[in-house]
Amino acid sequence: MEIIGVLGLQGAVSEHVKQIKALGLEAVVIKKPEQLEQIDGLILPGGESTTMRKLIDRYDFFDPLKEFYKAGKVIFGTCAGMVLVAKELAGSEESHLGIIDISVKRNAFGRQIASFEVDLDITGLEDPFKAVFIRAPYIESAGQNVEVLAKYDGKIVAAREGNVLTCAFHPELTADTRFLQLFVEMVEEQKQKEGKVS
């Protein structure tokens, strides 16, 4: 059984834990870097990206998170988590983890529609997914190796590259576990690869 971690520094942690358990998997709230060794995949939840980055630095998570990625472990960034994993941030000189080849614009849908729900067509899901956007970012541009999974209003809102999955919305705020299942399938594939190597 896959063990899924949720970075527990700030943000929508309990909602992710609930959804992981709904799939019958074990969820671990990650509060210390050494806990990363116990898990098969990691979710960086929505929240406030600047605050999350400060806490990542304060609790010495930055290098361990990069190592987790370099080891081939799967990382899933939602909303603020998307900002953390992006290689570039529009209007900013500095990115955070820089592990997926995308440029992200923060709080990109503007104040008037700061929060909204929309039915999205997502690659890999047969039926539309009700996506909850809350002061969401979007992907302004994506590298050639990035697979675009969903767009809203012409803007990229879900993508993956290698062992990183990301979305601008909050899949954990719905009862629909299908987007989380995409992440779990990536984790399962990675575990199988590791099994073949060992």
- Is 172 a known active-site residue? yes
The contacts of residue 129 (CB under 8 Å, 6+ apart) are: 119, 120, 121, 122, 150, 171, 174, 176, 178, 179
Provide the 3-class DSSP secondary structure of residue 50. Answer: helix
- Is 167 a known active-site residue? no
The contacts of residue 52 (CB under 8 Å, 6+ apart) are: 7, 9, 10, 11, 44, 80, 84
What token pair was written down for 9? Answer: 């520094």
- Is 170 a known active-site residue? yes
What token pair was written down for 45? Answer: 């939840």
Active-site pick, 79, 88, 161, 167: 79
Q: Which residues are catalytic?
A: 79, 170, 172
